[in-house]
């Protein structure tokens, strides 16, 4: 018997990029607990591999901006798990630079990692996702998928671009049972954000909680940083059977940021 195109006696297989820390690691852990066979990819490093494996995933080290790496990661995930039903693109970072001072190489690298790589991963995963009969693609965007801030040109451009990619993927994937969506969280308590809070606390000479309140939570309605597990919970629903009709959409988890 089959469920969609996937045998019912096989656990669904998920590939998560950026899966060794922060939101990506939380997604890996949540999907593993939900019964998925998970493959996590992230930059090489013993600590990253240990984190991903500890959360329940097989680990594939890769720099997704490298030539051929997206194809290799998909192929390796299929080799390790025998199939691919779910792709979650979470790898990324951000820099603060004015447009007139933004280094061109940094611009290219950010868009390659956060927009080109999700496209290439989707392209190479496509035969497996369509064969699944219930393929799922989720891009971890940001509130900056829906709004903008100064000094974040490349980051905002990439996160906006994910929306267009997701909507196109949804239209092409619909006849094959493939859905594609974007989750758009506000600031989340990840190691990256914690480092930014600490840096600004030192620069401004104020306490870390004051930085959170005055900078990171200034434009939101709910004055509390998200936790990575909050984002993982939304992703877990979007890749579930129950979310079969959810596609081509952006799901804000932005504490009311874009309600203004």
Residues classed as catalytic = 155
Distance CA 227, CA 225 (A): 7
Nearest CA to 37 out of 21, 22, 17, 16 is that of 16
Nearest CA to 70 out of 50, 55, 84 is that of 84
Tokens 């933004």 locate to 102
Distance CA 234, CA 112 (A): 25
Which tokens in the block code for residue 214? 């005055």
3-state SS class at 188: strand
- What backbone phi and psi angles, to 5 degrees, belong to 69? -70, -35
3-state SS class at 253: strand
Please give the DSSP secondary-structure letter assigned to residue 9: T
Nearest CA to 38 out of 48, 46, 24 is that of 24
The end-to-end CA distance of the chain, in Å, is 49
The residues, any chain, with a CB within 8 Å of residue 90's CB and separated by 6 or more, are: 16, 17, 18, 19, 23, 24, 27, 140
Tokens 């329940």 locate to 56
């Amino acid at each position: 018997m089959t469920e969609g195109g996937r045998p019912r006696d096989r656990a669904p297989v998920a590939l998560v990029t950026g899966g060794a820390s922060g939101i990506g690691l939380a997604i890996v852990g949540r999907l593993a607990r939900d019964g998925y066979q998970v493959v996590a990819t992230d930059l090489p490093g013993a600590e990253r591999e240990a984190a991903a494996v500890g959360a329940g995933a097989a680990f594939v080290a890769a720099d997704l901006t490298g030539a051929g790496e997206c194809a290799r990661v998909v192929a390796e995930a299929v080799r390790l798990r025998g199939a691919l039903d779910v792709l979650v693109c979470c790898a990324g970072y951000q820099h603060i630079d004015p447009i007139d001072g933004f280094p061109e190489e940094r611009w290219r690298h950010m868009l390659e990692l956060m927009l080109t790589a999700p496209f290439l991963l989707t392209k190479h995963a496509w035969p497996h996702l369509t064969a699944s009969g219930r393929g799922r693609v989720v891009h971890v965007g940001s509130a900056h998928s829906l709004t903008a801030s100064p000094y974040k040109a490349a980051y905002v451009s990439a996160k906006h671009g994910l929306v267009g990619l997701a909507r196109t993927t949804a239209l092409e994937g619909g006849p094959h049972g493939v859905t594609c969506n974007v989750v758009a969280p506000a600031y989340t308590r990840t190691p990256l954000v914690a480092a930014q809070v600490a840096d600004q606390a030192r620069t401004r000479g104020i306490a870390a909680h004051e930085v959170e309140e005055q900078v990171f939570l200034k434009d939101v309605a709910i004055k509390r940083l998200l936790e990575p597990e909050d984002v993982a919970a939304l992703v877990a629903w979007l890749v579930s059977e129950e979310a079969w009709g959810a596609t081509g959409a952006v799901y804000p988890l932005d504490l009311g940021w874009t309600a203004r």
